[in-house]
Every structure is written in structure tokens, then in C-alpha cells.
Amino acid sequence: MAAETSRSFGKKRARDEESVLDKGDADGTLGLENNLTLSDTLIALQMMRAQFPNIEKVAMQPFILRSQLYSSVNDRTQVDRDLESLKEEKVLRLFKLNTGQDDHAIMFLDDYLKQVALAVKRLEIKNQQDIEVFEWFKKYVIETKLDVSIDHQELCSLLSCGGEVKDKHVTLLISAGLLNRQLIDPNMYWFTIPNIGSILKGLSQGRKELLSFLNRRKFKEMLLAPLEKKQLRFSPLDMRFHLRDLIGSGHLKTVQTPTGLLVRVSKD
Amino acid sequence: MWKAVKDREAGFLLPSSFATRIRSHRVASLDLSNHKEIVSPHNGAINSLQVDLTEERYLLSGSSDGSAAVYDIQHATDYERGLIAKHKSLFVVDKQHNHGHRYAISTAVWYPVDTGLFITGSFDHYIKVWDTNTTQVVMDFKMPGKVYRTAMSSIATTHMLIAAGSTDVQVRLCDIASGAFTHTLSGHRDGVMSLEWSTSSEWILVTGGCDGAIRFWDIRRAGCFRVLDQARSQLGRRPLAESTSKKGSVTGQSSSAKSMVSQRRIPLGNETKQLRALHKSQHLPRGPVVQRLHPGLSSTHNRAVAHYGAVTGLRATGDGMYLLSSGSDSRLRLWDVDSGYNTLVNFEAMRLQPTKALQLAVTQDSSLVFVPCLSTVKAYDVQSGMTFRTFCGHYELVNCCCLSSQDQELYTGSNDRQILVWSPASPVIAEVEEGKGGWVSVADQDNWSD
């Protein structure tokens, strides 16, 4: 909680956010139904960050998918614009994921730096040379390049502010999981979240499982309340995460019924 | 509506806003027409539809079975039961024609000045210019790849160039007056799937490629002067302007639209010693040579992409201020043409077909955009991105839609070989009776009391 307050702007806002977050945690038990839509992007982000499931096997900092944000806030254009301005203010960072056509993950900058530090520590144990490149990366590249991708020229020129850059420095960055080569263009790299591989696999498997579960039902729909309590077998992420993601990307839609929200597979 | 007429008469309402109001009312009430039908002679998917620009009377359609047909959409060829007007094709040119196309026709456009000529482009690598009255091929151009799109500028007064995009990376401009290729525009790294001439200048061409880039070309100069980048965005209608430079950030991306390739990126924490060291040890492992360019031109090495995937459709708004682009990443983006920035308007979740080029339509006052989404057509509000209406009527994927601004009718063509007409709610026809020239509605007949 202290981390959140230090990040917010001004005392009044900090108080508001704290109260919302406390309520948010309590609401976690009440369910998705009551807090499916919110009005502010940052509040939605922080609430979803607080609700990120705790995965035992992998030490993973919370991240939020863009489609989850779309399902939580009414106006999508406003979400896009807020994300853009938050990105410019260096509160959070966007990453393009390889699990779908337009999947993006949003991570708060502090969480990302923590994740990078974990990855660097793991690599440090294995070999001691050339680790200064991570310092350069953190100091020069992350601070200045706010996009999801970077090209080779720019990467080298930014890293060389720290010292002399060689090929093996870039290779080290890739093996640590901080950068990934683009398939269509060998000179461009995507920024990636280190150690996210198994979770992404769980993400796509969980999506498939949830969609196939609903498709197998007679009318391809189910009430939200009992659906939320189900456990997914193939995904370490919880049901609420997947529901928000699929509703936001348009695969599922919610219908209001007298007995509560109903989740239905969307036809087109 | 009568109150609006009285207001216009009294001077409270401007005639132009009266007309806009009527038009937007009509567009808002669009639905599958119950009084008009187009009988399509095609045996393949309809790939392209266009209403002629001079009188908005003739509809030209191009289809996957190599046939192109023209329909008169204002006068029906016959009436079914006096109520439904059936519009049959006036003529069809297909594979049986001795100079017809051999494979699918991907694009069919009218000559913008009059309906005496039309141009078809096909997957058999040919672009043919036809004379409408004699249905003969007047000229043809052989392209190096399958032709995806052709376009002619509707505001051109000094040239009659056909811009053609094909699977080849170069965009070619064909001249009808001379019968030769006048320009070859290189810059794209993959085929060019969508093309559009600017609505504000007869010299500016916008092309969208399968590599995801959208480039602006001024055909009077060599090279493109702008590449749209989805990462550079503005919030709202005017650009973010100088905020990036205020933070002193590194990126050489200046906020001016005509950006030049930065020669060297000045790093943060700039110290002269460091700079000198930078210059000395500047042997970067790999990388393209920094090119010297003419001012105002964008490098061919500019890798900015507008979409993650191919750009499947482009449409400029009538006032020339915005450009809409649809991509195979199922996103529709709105670009501010003046600044070249992404306006970040989010058009709600849609699934667009990724492999084929789409034809979008925009209303005349640029308030609504019609997008073919799988087997429906969705109308979105351009500035806010909210879904306005969804038109479900086709049985299979919709490829093209065309809005006739005079009649406010929407024509859509799809893979199910049908052209559907969507028209505003028509007044209820009370009765019909058999008259001298066939069925005629009673409302049209004279009814004098003697």
C-alpha cells in the first residue's frame, strides 16, 4: 500500500486510492459482478493490480492486460488516451505479448524494475561478466525509450552512454529475457517481461479452456456468479483474470438478467 | 421536419445545416431496404463496389469470377408486385468477353470525370480501361503482380493517373493519356493492399502496405514525405505538441510531421567528453548506413508501422482532415492528416477479415464510418469510436461497402455473391394499382376531383 501512495499525486488522491483499494480487496470476495465497470483508468489499474493472483511456482509481479482494462472502463478511447499519458509520465510501461494479434500487457514501472532485478540476480549467479549492461539498460534505455519496441541502432547508441557496447551485451539482454527479436524484422526488438513465458502459456490455455467450457454448454452461456467460482485446470491465473480479458477482447459478452449478470459467447 | 423547413424559411436555420440535418436523420435510419433490390449476375464474391462520382446514378461492381457489372440505381428495370424495385445489371463483362479478365477482379472504379470509362484491376496482373458504351477495352496495363487496388483522384485537373497497388513492393502510376507508367513509388517492404488519393490535394497519394506501413507520397517529388507511426499519438484533435521535447527526452522524433531521419541520437546526460568518446568508438556491430536525404523526405529505412499486420483498407474523410485505416490486426485507426498522429480513438471490439482488402465508407459530414466486420457491417461514430449500428444481412463475409451521399443509401457486397441495399425508412406506400406502364403507386398518380 505504501508503494501505491508514494506513486500517486498529492495527498488527497492518495487517501482516495487507499480507500478504494481497501474496498477493492474486500470486493474481491464479493465478486466480479459488483465492480465490473469503473470510471477511472488509474483506479481500475490499481484495483486489478491488487487482485492479481498469487502464483506459487513463478515469482511474478502483477501485470494487467489491455483487454481487461477495456472491460473495466466504459469509454475505450479514454482508456487509450489515459494509458498514453500515463506512459509518458513513466508511471507504467506497455509490452506487446505474443499470445494474440493485439495483446498488450501493462505493468507499473516499479513492478517492472523489480522483475528485471529478479532476472538479473538469477543471471548473476550463473556468470559474472558483462552484467554492467543491465545497469546501462535500466539507466538509459528504460528511462528514455517508452515504446514497445526498439531498433538495433538506437539500442546500441543508448547503451553506449554507459560504456562500450558489444554484440555479447545484446545477447545477454536477450538471454535474460528483457528483449526479444522480432520475427518480421531482424533489426528490431520487442521489450519483454522476463520470466513471463509459463504464465503466457497458461494464459492462452486458460482462454481456450474457458471458451470451450462455455461452448460445450447447451446455450453457450452461464451466470457470472457460479462461473467465477470455477477453477481452471490449465492456467495458474484465476477465473476473474480470464473473464475480464475475454469480455474486453470481445469473445464473451455480458447480459443483464433479473438473476444477475449472464456471460455468453459472442456469435460474430 | 416541417418545423425545420419553416425555420429555414424564416432564416433561423442555415440552408446548409438544414441539409446536413436531413442527411444525418436519413443515415441514422438506414435499414435493409424493403423497396429496392439489386439483382446480381455474379457467380463469385463481390470485391468492389463504387457509385459513380458525377451523377451518383450507376453502381459498378467487380467480382471474383472475373465479371464486372453496372447497375442503374435510380431507375429500376422492373417492379416485383409493384412494390419492390428490381435493378438488373445494364451490362456484364466477364471471362467470355474476348478481352475480359481471366481471374478475379479485385477492384473496379469509375473514371472520376464521367461515366464513359471505367477501370478494372484483377489478379491476372492486368489493369484494363473500358469504354462503357461499347464495353470494349480501350487500354490495358500489365503489372508485375496481382493487382489489389486501383484509384484515381477525383479532384485531379492536371493528370489522369491510375494509382495501382499490387503484390509487388512498388506502387505504379499509369497514365491513361499516354498509355505508359509515369511513376514508380518505392518504399514499401511488402505488397500494397490499399491506396487512396488525398481528398484535399490532387498530388498526394496515400498507400497502405502488407508490411503495416502507411505512406504519404507527393507525386511531384521522389520518395514519400510521411510514414504514419502508431506510436506517435495525439490526445484529441490537436497534437500533444511540445511535451516530449520539454522532458528533454532522447528520441529524435520531432513533433513536426515532416520529420527527417535523425543522424545521431543525442544521449541523456550529455557531456562533451562522452560525445567525443561516442564519436570515436562509433563502430556499431550492425546497422544500415545513415542516408542523406532531401529535406522533407522520409527514409525508406523508416520502419514505423501503422498496424501490426497488413493495412487492409484506407479511407480519407471528405474534408481531408482525417484518415481512417483498417488493419489485419482487427483495429481501425483514425489519423490526423495534418500532423500525422494517431488520434487514439478506439473503435470498439471488432473482428476484421485479415486476408482481403476491405472497402470502407464514410458519410459526407465525416460523422460515421461504415466498416465491413466479418459478415456484418458496423457503423461507428468517427470521433468517439462508439458503435452506432450493426447491419446484419449477409450470409458470408462482407468485402465492400459504398455510401451514396446523394440518396443516403448504403450498398454492400459480400462473399455470398449478393449486393444488398440499405436505405432510409421510406414513407409507407398506401396502395398500388395496375396502370398503363405497369405497377405504379397510387401516391404518384394524379387524383383530381371533377
DSSP string, A142-191: HHH--SSEEEHHHHHHHHTTTS---HHHHHHHHHHTSEEE-SS-TTEEEE
Q: End-to-end CA distance of chain B, in Å? A: 32
| Distance separating alpha carbons of residues B69 and A257, to the nearest angstrom | 49
Compare CB distances from A80 to B247, B287, B344 and report the shortest one's residue. B344
Residue A21 has pLDDT above 70, yes or no: no
For residues A161 and B267, what is the distance between their CA atoms, to the nearest angstrom?
7
Taking contacts as CB-CB distances below 8 angstroms, the residues of chain A near B284 are 152-153, 156-157, 165
| pLDDT (average), residues B255-277 | 37
A171 contact residues in B (CB cutoff 8 A) = none
Query: Which residues does chain B have within 8 Å of residue A88's beta carbon, measured at their own beta carbons?
Result: 243-244, 247
Interface of A with B (CB under 8 A): 70, 75-77, 79-81, 84-85, 88, 96, 101-102, 140, 143-148, 151-154, 156-158, 160-161, 164-167, 170, 184-185, 187-188, 248-250, 268
Residue B310: name the closest of B149, B201, B184, B142 by CA. B149
Sheet holding A179-181, edge to edge: A149-151, A188-191, A179-181
Per-residue model confidence (pLDDT) at position B400: 94
Task: Compute the Cα dihedral for A39, A40, A43, A49 and give only its sign.
Answer: positive
pLDDT at A143: 86
Contacts of B287 in chain A (CB under 8 A): 152-153, 156, 187
pLDDT of residue B428: 58
Read off the pTM.
Answer: 0.81
Using the beta-carbon criterion (under 8 Å), do A76 and B350 form an inter-chain contact? no
- Amino acid type, B26: R
* Min distance A53 CA to chain B CA atoms (Å): 26
Q: What number is the average pLDDT over the span A62-78?
A: 89
Per-residue pLDDT, B291 = 57
Per-residue model confidence as pLDDT tens digits over A207-233? 999 999 999 999 999 999 999 999 888
With beta carbons under 8 A apart, name residues in chain A contacting B331: 102
Contact check, Cβ <8 Å, B345/A77: yes
CA B277 remoteness from chain centre: 51
Contact A187 B373 (CB under 8 A): no
Determine whether the interchain pair A143/B286 forms a contact, defined as Cβ–Cβ distance below 8 Å.
Answer: no
Of B267, B328, B346, which is closest to A80 when you measure between CB atoms?
B346
User: Which one of B287, B351, B385 has the shortest CB-CB distance to A153?
Assistant: B287
Supply the mean pLDDT for chain B.
Answer: 83
The tens digit of pLDDT for each residue in A107-123 reads 999 999 998 888 888 88
B243 reaches A (C-beta below 8 A): yes
Q: Please give the grid coordinates belonging to residue B354.
A: 485479415
Q: Are the beta carbons of B344 and A96 separated by less than 8 Å?
A: no
Strand partners, B59: B51, B71
Model confidence at B279: pLDDT above 90: no
What percentage of residues in chain A have a pLDDT greater than 70? 84
Q: Does the pLDDT at position A149 exceed 60?
A: yes
Residue B443 pLDDT more than 70? no
For residue range B374-385, list pLDDT tens digits in order: 899 999 999 888
Q: Which residue has the cell 505488397?
A: B191
- What DSSP letter does each residue of chain A carry, written as one string? -HHHHHHSSSHHHHHHHHHHHHHHHHHHHH-TTTTS-BS-HHHHHHHHHHT----SSS-----EEHHHHHHHBS-HHHHHHHHHHHHHTTSEEEEE-SSSSS-EEEEEHHHHHHHHHHHHHHHHHH--TTTHHHHHIIIIIHHH--SSEEEHHHHHHHHTTTS---HHHHHHHHHHTSEEE-SS-TTEEEE--TT-HHHHHHHHHHHHHHHHHHHHSSSSEEEHHHHHT---SS-SS-HHHHHHHHHHHTSEEEEEETTEEEEEE---
Which of B71, B60, B171, B76 lies closest to B112 in space, CA to CA?
A: B60
pLDDT band of residue A15 (cuts 50, 70, 90) is: very low
* Contact between A84 and B235 using a beta-carbon 8 Å cutoff: yes
Kindly identify which residue of chain B lies nearest to residue A98, measuring between CA atoms: B308
Which candidate from A77, A156, A250 shows the least CB-CB separation from B385? A77
Task: Identify which of B235, B269, B373 has the shortest CB distance to residue A81.
Answer: B235
Considering only alpha carbons, which residue of chain A is nearest residue B309? A101
| B212 → chain A, closest CA residue | A184
- Asked whether the beta carbons of A25 and A4 are under 8 A apart, the reply is no
Taking only the tens place, the pLDDT of each residue in A151-182 is: 888 888 888 888 888 888 888 888 888 888 88
Rounded to whole angstroms, the Cα distance separating B200 from B363 reads 16
* Nearest CA distance, A161 vs chain B (angstrom): 7
- Is pLDDT above 90 for A264? yes
Judged against a pLDDT cut of 70, whether residue B281 lies above it is answered with: no
Facing A268 at nearest CB: one of B267, B329, B375: B375
Closest in B231, B249, B345 to A144, CB measured: B249
B264 part of contact set with chain A, CB < 8 Å: yes
- Compute the distance between CA of residue B90 and CA of residue B72 in angstroms, rounded to an integer: 7
How far is the CA of B338 from the CAs of A161, B226, B251, B255, B258, in angstroms? Answer: 35, 11, 21, 12, 10
Taking residues B394-412, report their average pLDDT.
93
Average pLDDT in chain A: 81
Helix pair angle (A239-249, A197-216), 10° resolution: 70
- Distance in Å, alpha carbon of A166 to nearest chain B alpha carbon: 7
Asked if the Cβ–Cβ distance from A164 to B330 is below 8 Å, we say no
State the complex-level ipTM.
Answer: 0.76
Q: For residue A248, list chain B residues with Cβ-Cβ distance below 8 A.
A: 349
The whole-number pLDDT of residue A207 equals 92
pLDDT value at B166 more than 90: yes
> Which three cell numbers mark B375?
459478415
Q: Please give the average per-residue pLDDT across A29-43, as a whole number.
A: 69
What's the pLDDT score for residue B85? 87
Q: In this model, does residue A32 exceed pLDDT 90?
A: no
- Is A79 in contact with B346 (Cβ distance < 8 A)? yes
Q: If pLDDT is split at 50, 70 and 90, which confidence band does B440 have?
A: low
How many other C-beta atoms lie within 10 A of the C-beta of residue B158? 8
Q: Which residue of B has its CA nearest to A164?
A: B281
Rounded to whole angstroms, what are the CA distances from B175 to A227, B128, B136, B138, B381? 63, 12, 18, 13, 37
The arithmetic mean of pLDDT across residues B12-24, rounded, is 91
Residue type, A185: D
Q: Are B37 and B423 in contact (CB under 8 A)?
A: no
Predicted confidence band of residue B253 (pLDDT cuts 50, 70, 90): very low
Exposed e or buried b per residue across B320-330, where buried means at least 16 C-beta atoms within 10 angstroms of its C-beta:
bebbbbbbbbb
Q: Which of B251, B330, B344 sits opposite A81 (nearest CB)?
A: B344
| B396 pLDDT higher than 90 | yes
**Who wins on pLDDT, B339 or B444?**
B339
Span A48-56, average pLDDT: 86
Between CA B242 and CA A256 the distance in angstroms is 45
The pLDDT value recorded for residue B272 is 42
| Chain A CB contacts of B247 below 8 Å | 88
pLDDT at A200 over 60: yes
Is A76 in Cβ contact with B348 (below 8 Å)? yes
Question: Among B7-21, B266-280, B345-359, where is mean pLDDT lowest?
Answer: B266-280
Q: State residue B232 phi and psi, 5-degree precision.
A: -95, 115
Residues of A whose CB is below 8 A from B349: 70, 248-250
CB-based contact B250 A165, cutoff 8 Å? no
A123 neighbors A175 (Cβ within 8 angstroms): yes
Q: Which residues of A touch B274 (CB under 8 A)?
A: 161
**Residue B265 touches partner A, C-beta closer than 8 Å:** yes
Cα dist. B275→A67, A160, A162, A167 in Å? 43, 10, 12, 21
Least confident of A84-98, A228-242, B242-256, B434-448: B242-256
| Mean pLDDT computed over B51-71 | 94
Contacts across the A-B interface (CB distance below 8 Å): 99
Q: Taking CA atoms, what residue in A is nearest to B271?
A: A161
| Distance to chain A for B12, nearest Cα, Å | 35
Percent of chain A at pLDDT exceeding 90: 21
Q: Which of A140, A152, A161 to mutate to test the interface with B (most CBs of B within 10 A)?
A: A161
Query: What is the pLDDT confidence band of residue A59, given thresholds at 50, 70 and 90?
Result: confident
Sign of CA dihedral B335, B338, B340, B345: negative
Cα distance between residue A60 and residue A52, in whole Å: 10
Q: Which residue on chain B is closest to A165 by alpha carbon?
A: B284
Confidence of residue A53 (pLDDT cuts 50, 70, 90): confident
> Which residues, numbered 291 to 310 in chain B, qualify as contacts with chain A under a Cβ-Cβ cut-off of 8 Å?
303, 308-309
